Amino acid sequence: MSEELFDVVVVGGGPSGATAANDLAVAGHKVMLLDRGGRIKPCGGAVPPRLLADFEVPQDLLVARAKAARMIAPSNRKVDMPVGEIGYVGMVDRDVFDEWLRARAAGNGAERRKGSFEAIERDDRPEPLVTYREERGGPLKKVRTRLIVGADGARSSVAKQEIADAERMPCVFAYHEIIKSPEGAATDAFDGSRCDVFYQGKLSPDFYAWVFPHGETASVGVGSANKGFSLRGAVSTMRDDLDLAECDTVRREGAPIPLKPLKRWDNGRDVIVAGDAAGIVAPASGEGIYYAMTGGRVVAEAAQVFLATGEAKALKAARKRFMREHGKVFWILRMMQHFWYSSDKRRERFVTMCADKDVQELTWQAYMNKKLVRAKPLAHVRIFLKDCAHLLGLRAAA
């Protein structure tokens, strides 16, 4: 029996891996998509309308459309940020959304296989071997491939084996509970058309907590890099405080969320990483789905050049392009998180800033367009001056 040879093996079937597999299959390459199956990443599930357009995702995958975000300060002061006429925050259920992406890739020619990645092996042939098991304790299976795309999450086994310093990636650990949404009309505590974000040290000492609507269900979650902080305890407190404790719990999930892109995405030979494995989740906001799919696409484009030319240097183009388009936003968000999330006093001031109409307009424009907005320079100047006033303590927090 002849040995299988793929052009690309994609390890991990989340939004990034499924997007890369789909794009490569559409381009005519022989692709294998390896995914463990049955695992759902803890995620608020927010996606901008641009994602649906850029990646040809149907509207019917949205389970809710949020028209506002509410920021809640340590003092419990609430600031509503209406989206306005420019769009909405789409909400997806990751179990349905991710499976749709995987099924699309398979429909376009990618070969799906269920299994857990074990290792990359090398012998006297130029193409490496990907080893995996279909079930725990099962026989080791091997396939040969010209290129491996590691899209297997923040603690990527592919990256750990092949990318220098990948294990040092800084992460926030996220935990959420999917609950049945409360029945009846919207209340101050829960509104099915609003995303609530809690900037309170009691709920997260270094990140934030959230309640995101998903139609018939809702995500109640929290993130923190503090290993001694009880994420489950914080979620329990939220549910008690918001009268959500009696809502049925559908499932509980937890996972690390990376907050800084790796300095290198490829091994200079035949491996490249994407999505959480590459560290591309937005700091401060934790937004990851759009960036994961964008990362999967740029990796697929670099992979096509690699497959056509055999030149490993082509793989470097993926990170360069992504950082050229999104690196400045990531840098700004990382600075925001480092400063504003460091104490309740600063969180209070941050929420006060969110009440500013200029801040709201440019925040939503940047979210919808996924780039810094340059159309209103005077608004940027006003925001800069107000920001300086908050930083220097010259402006009241409430």
In whole angstroms, give the CA distance from residue 389 to residue 383. Answer: 10
Other C-beta atoms closer than 10 Å to the C-beta of 77 total 14
Residue 60's CB is within 10 A of a number of other CB atoms, namely 7
Query: Which of 81, 309, 348 is CA-nearest to residue 193?
Result: 81
Q: Hey, how many other C-beta atoms are within 10 angstroms of the C-beta on 377?
A: 9
Average pLDDT over residues 83-99: 89
Whole-angstrom CA distances from 230 to 72, 174, 244 are 20, 11, 19
103-112, 268-277, 366-375, 376-385 — which is least confidently predicted? Answer: 376-385
DSSP classification of residue 278: G
Q: What is the arithmetic mean of pLDDT over 249-276?
A: 94
| Whole-number Å distance between alpha carbons of 287 and 281 | 6
Confidence tier at 286 by pLDDT (50, 70, 90)? confident
User: Rounded CA gap, 75 and 398, in Å?
Assistant: 9
Burial grade of 369 (CB within 10 A; 0-12, 13-18, 19 or more): middle
**Once rounded to an integer, what is the mean pLDDT over residues 131-139?**
92
* DSSP code for 263: S
Q: What is the reported pLDDT for 41?
A: 77
Pairing of strands 68-72, 78-82: antiparallel
Please report the pLDDT score of residue 306 as a whole number. Answer: 98
Residues 310-341 pLDDT 10s: 999 999 999 999 999 999 888 888 888 888 89
Region 249-264 average pLDDT: 92
272 has pLDDT over 60: yes
Mean pLDDT of 115-138: 94
Kindly tell me if the per-residue pLDDT of 81 is higher than 90: yes
Q: Which residues contact 357 (CB under 8 A, 6 or more apart)?
A: none
pLDDT over threshold 70, residue 380: no
Q: What percent of the chain has pLDDT over 90?
A: 72
pLDDT grade, residue 96 (50/70/90)?
Answer: very high
pLDDT recorded at residue 374: 53
**Terminal CA-CA length for the chain:** 73
- Residue 33 pLDDT greater than 60, yes or no: yes
- In this structure, are residues 199 and 75 in contact, taking their beta carbons and an 8 Å threshold? no
* pLDDT tens for each residue of 200-215: 999 999 999 999 999 9
Q: What is the mean pLDDT of residues 264-279?
A: 97
